Copies of this chain bind each other. A is one copy, B any other.
């Protein structure tokens, strides 16, 4: 394993722009932010990113590998993000395809607090794909959301999370919703013998985040939903260390970084970075839904979430976003049992959400048998 952080880029040069110059520009921009001629030999040698490989690609553009000394990161996730894409986010034609992680960096990032095995244990689900749904719509009262939560739990949905847009709006303030929904799910579990869990959305401002997490823990929740690209990615890692809850991460606001011409590959951002920052499960827009992700792209995110990384627990892919009940079995076969299927609208559209949930649960259990 390399001692340096090796970042693989795909460059597209503008007319008149030389790949060598662009590569050297990145190596300087992301570290010392000075022209080469101003640097001391010591700083140049120790701090500037090293161009390890640069080659023209048959499909166009250039493949580039730059390695960075761990000292540039200072052991902080915030500065890691800065080195990866801070200033160059403001440039053009730079795509980060992949990162080779030094073991020491993995060590201080830490990854999921629970991982796939931990989530399965807390939810009591060992041998099938997991099911997740979302409480919605915004504008419903806490009581109405709790009624839906109760029905979903009786229908056998494992994780009943808040819609990621449910924050602290007057129709269903966070604490009212937390109380009503966690009680409703507990009541359903007592009735059915199930182990469904309510995951409230704790996404909030810097000052409010701790109290939402504390309230969730005190209400007996096993996990929460968080939008880490809105709270700041490190806030999720902090939540992992402080509260020990299962963390389901939502991709809101990441899309700007997922452009094919300039940005981060989705498996790098939603797969590795979210996982390394503590997500036990990561929601992403599934292929065939209302977002434009391809099936191959989704499989690549799945692999990034589950792949062996020294000392880092694997995390659960959670494809969602316009997923259809009728296709649930297909996705389980395609993506494997270590997947959380997030299905919301398609259950609501059927009217009787308990019955719709039961049918979904059966379909997924059967898909498991054949897989």
- Counting CB contacts under 8 A, is A115 at the interface? no
**Which residues of the other chain, B, contact A256 by a CB distance below 8 angstroms?**
85, 89, 256-259, 262-264
| A253 contacts B82, C-beta separation under 8 Å | yes
| A91 contacts B291, C-beta separation under 8 Å | yes
| A227 contacts B86, C-beta separation under 8 Å | yes
**Which residues of the other chain, B, contact A231 by a CB distance below 8 angstroms?**
78, 232, 234
| A39 contacts B137, C-beta separation under 8 Å | yes
For residue A87, which residue of chain B has the nearest CB? B252
- Counting CB contacts under 8 A, is A123 at the interface? no
- Counting CB contacts under 8 A, is A371 at the interface? no
- Counting CB contacts under 8 A, is A329 at the interface? no
| A251 contacts B167, C-beta separation under 8 Å | no
- Counting CB contacts under 8 A, is A139 at the interface? yes
- Counting CB contacts under 8 A, is A307 at the interface? no
Determine which of B72, B81, B345 lies in contact with A35 in the assembled complex, contact meaning CB atoms within 8 Å.
Answer: B345
- Counting CB contacts under 8 A, is A330 at the interface? no
Main SS class of interface, A: loop
| A254 contacts B167, C-beta separation under 8 Å | no
Nearest-neighbour CB distance to chain B for A275, whole angstroms, equals 17
> A137-B32, A170-B74 are contacts. A206–B90 as well, Cβ < 8 Å?
no
Within 8 A of B (CB), among A69-86: 71-79, 81-83, 85-86
Within 8 A of B (CB), among A37-65: 37-39, 42-43, 46-47
| A251 contacts B90, C-beta separation under 8 Å | yes
For residue A94, which residue of chain B has the nearest CB? B255
- Counting CB contacts under 8 A, is A31 at the interface? yes
Size category, A interface: 35 or more
| B349 contacts A139, C-beta separation under 8 Å | no
**Which residues of the other chain, B, contact A262 by a CB distance below 8 angstroms?**
255-256, 259
- Counting CB contacts under 8 A, is A165 at the interface? yes
- Counting CB contacts under 8 A, is A168 at the interface? yes
Most buried by B among A137, A204, A257: A137
For residue A254, which residue of chain B has the nearest CB? B89
- Counting CB contacts under 8 A, is A292 at the interface? yes
- Counting CB contacts under 8 A, is A106 at the interface? no
For residue A292, which residue of chain B has the nearest CB? B92
- Counting CB contacts under 8 A, is A366 at the interface? no
| B140 contacts A43, C-beta separation under 8 Å | yes
| B205 contacts A82, C-beta separation under 8 Å | no
Determine which of B47, B82, B205 lies in contact with A77 in the assembled complex, contact meaning CB atoms within 8 Å.
Answer: B205
Question: Complex formed: what's the CA distance from A13 to B139 in Å?
Answer: 30
- Counting CB contacts under 8 A, is A25 at the interface? yes
Nearest-neighbour CB distance to chain B for A160, whole angstroms, equals 15
- Counting CB contacts under 8 A, is A223 at the interface? no
Nearest-neighbour CB distance to chain B for A200, whole angstroms, equals 14
**Which residues of the other chain, B, contact A263 by a CB distance below 8 angstroms?**
256
**Which residues of the other chain, B, contact A43 by a CB distance below 8 angstroms?**
137-140
- State the A residues within 8 Å of B (CB): 25, 29-35, 37-39, 42-43, 46-47, 71-79, 81-83, 85-92, 134, 136-140, 163-165, 167-171, 203-209, 227, 230-235, 237-238, 241, 251-259, 262-264, 285, 290-292, 321, 344-345, 348-349
Q: A72-B169, A85-B255 are in contact. List 17 more A-B contacts (CB 8 A).
A: A31-B139, A31-B165, A32-B138, A35-B345, A35-B349, A46-B139, A47-B137, A73-B169, A88-B255, A91-B255, A206-B235, A230-B233, A231-B232, A256-B256, A256-B258, A256-B259, A256-B262
